[in-house]
Amino acid sequence: MDPFSQLILTISVTSFFTFQWLFHRVSPWLSIRISTGFLGLSDKQKVEWNSRTVSTFHALLVGIFCLYIFFFDDAVNEDPVWGDPTLVKTNVAITTGYLISDLLLIFYYWKAIGDKFFVVHHLAALYAYYYVLGEGMLPYFANFRLLAEFSTPCVNQRWFFEVLGYPKSSRPNMANGVAMAVVFFMVRIAVMPVYYGRMYAVYGTEAFYLVPWGGRLAWICSSICLDVMNIMWMHKIARGCYKVLRSAQESKAPAPQENGKTD
């Protein structure tokens, strides 16, 4: 095994244990001090709370790393299929450690956070990341997909507000709902033309045909399936956001006055 591959393996293992530590130690300790409502949660809710706290930290960490690569990694941007994957591999290694850690927690706390969809999602992502970490291919597209993590903190915050009993019409909840809709649209929907434009640009080239069939399957088919789900989710988020904003506006509107008559 070459030194860089050993480094990537070390990063993945370190990431796994770090996220386990964040879940079991850091999140409970920090949550008690930030929110008094944490102590009033049930055991199952505390498990999900800690899971979502770790999820938010991971999303912000890899999301910021993704932005740096997107704007400043010229090798990856110039050659999206076979460009130097050093930084992307590092970021994907962090995510790989997180996904394995999260899978372990899902299975161990199945009654609290068990979800077949997340199991399938994590396994599919790990399959795709194999080609990035093992073969060094498709770094641009792997990095682009991780940009979607920026929508995760708002989604998690929505759950935090809900479990703490915040009304949907409360200002914090409404502000987070609008932010969630905007960010989700920006990082998952609005970027589709850019993503598929780069995919179309390399389709049929020599670099494309050097990608094995398994890699093409993980790249193209998973992208299409994921974006179909993203469109469906965006539709639900937009409808929910519209309903909350509309109900809040109607509750603030002055009641119509009745014109009485005197005899």
SS (H, E, C) 215-229: HHHHHHHHHHHHHHH
The secondary structure of residue 83, as a DSSP letter, is: S
Q: Which residue has the tokens 């932005």?
A: 67
Distance CA(71)–CA(74), nearest Å, equals 8
Per residue in 128-180, pLDDT (tens digit) is 899 999 889 999 999 999 999 999 999 999 999 999 999 888 889 999 999 99
Beta-carbon count within 10 A of 136 CB: 17
Split at pLDDT 50, 70, 90, the class of 97 is very high
Would you call 36 helix, strand, or coil by DSSP?
helix
Q: List the chain domain ranges.
A: 3-250
Q: Which of 143, 204, 213, 153 is nearest to 183 (CA)?
A: 153
Would you call 118 helix, strand, or coil by DSSP?
helix
Split at pLDDT 50, 70, 90, the class of 246 is confident
Distance CA(252)–CA(255), nearest Å, equals 9
Q: What is the Cα gyration radius of the chain?
A: 22
Q: Which of 187, 189, 196, 184 is nearest to 220 (CA)?
A: 196
Q: Say if CB 59 and CB 150 are below 8 A apart.
A: yes
CA 125 to chain centre: 12
> Can you give the pTM of this predicted structure?
0.89
Helix ranges (H only) for 185-256 are: 192-202, 206-209, 213-216, 222-252
Per residue in 221-242, pLDDT (tens digit) is 888 888 988 899 899 999 988 8
Q: Which of 213, 158, 215 is nearest to 183 (CA)?
A: 158
Of 83-92, 190-199, 220-229, minimum mean pLDDT range = 220-229
